[in-house]
Amino acid sequence: AFIGKMNFMENNSRKPMVGQDKRTICCLCCEKGPVVLRTQLERSAYVCGESIKLRANIDNQGEEEVRLKVKLIQYVEYFIDRGVLGVNKEVQHLVLEYKGDPVRPNTRSKWDSAQSLVVPVMPPSLVGVCRLLQIYYVLKVNLEFEKSGDDLQMHFPITIATVPFRIPNSNQQPNIHYEVSCEHVEGGLYIGPEFLLGEVYDGTSNHDAQRETVVLYRPVYVTVVKHNTSHNI
């Protein structure tokens, strides 16, 4: 989903996605200057360990400070065949967050994500593959007004993939390894009341909440290691 006045160039992981949102505030019939947020996402698909390539230009011609906020949200939808219509549930997890410095009135600011938005280890996108589970990610870019509480919003779909991006005709190959997911973006637990170790599920969900949960397994996911001159990131 895209929110605001946005010019979407092409939904392609290898081409930049450009968005623009603009707001002019009117008070007592006296129009204040516009506040403009322009963003560019280099590509929409990443592997765990990579840095999201996002640039933002802020032109604040209003009368209050604004602040850039960026969030990557994981959405998980569960579908259970129960009854006639079935049961569905959606949960969301905050993957990572960035909060910029205030931009004062009548000033401009530029921001480059660089190493600020490194994708942690987490499940890849899963859409249209399993009828019981969907996992997808959205990058939310907000420009928040400090006093009024209003904000400009842009939402970019992000694909978490299992094959790293490769520059065509390049001899450099990404260094791939596997790690377990971060706990806050597991996308669901791998143990439930019907699978408690040493017990038989009787169809009810009543169980001792104080009992230690035993995780039966934890899958591993593709991630890449980036090298610099001194150490691995």
The pLDDT tens digits for 163-206 are: 888 777 777 778 889 988 888 887 555 555 555 555 555 555 55
Which one, of 126, 44, 140, 138, lies nearest residue 77 by Cα?
A: 126
Burial class (CB in 10 A: 0-12, 13-18, 19+), 38: middle
Instruction: Please determine, for residue 112, whether its predicted confidence score (pLDDT) is greater than 90.
Output: yes
Cβ-count burial 73-83 (b if 16+ within 10 Å, e if not): bbebbeeeeee
- Mean pLDDT in residue range 17-46: 66
| Higher pLDDT pick, 174 / 215 | 174
User: How do strand 54-60 and strand 17-27 relate by DSSP bridges?
Assistant: unpaired
> In sequence order, what are the residues at sequence separation of 6 or more whose Cβ sits closer than 8 angstroms to the Cβ of residue 166?
173, 174
Chain segment 4-26, per-residue pLDDT in tens: 333 322 334 444 455 555 444 43
- Distance of alpha carbon 71 from alpha carbon 230, whole angstroms: 29
Instruction: Please determine, for residue 152, whether its predicted confidence score (pLDDT) is greater than 50.
Output: yes
**What confidence tier does 208 reach under pLDDT thresholds 50, 70, 90?**
low
Contact 109, 103 (CB under 8 A): yes
Instruction: Name the average pLDDT for the chain.
Output: 76
DSSP one-letter string for 151-175: EEEEEEEEEE-SS----TT-----E
In the numeric block, which tokens belong to residue 142?
A: 């907000």
- Distance of alpha carbon 125 from alpha carbon 46, whole angstroms: 10
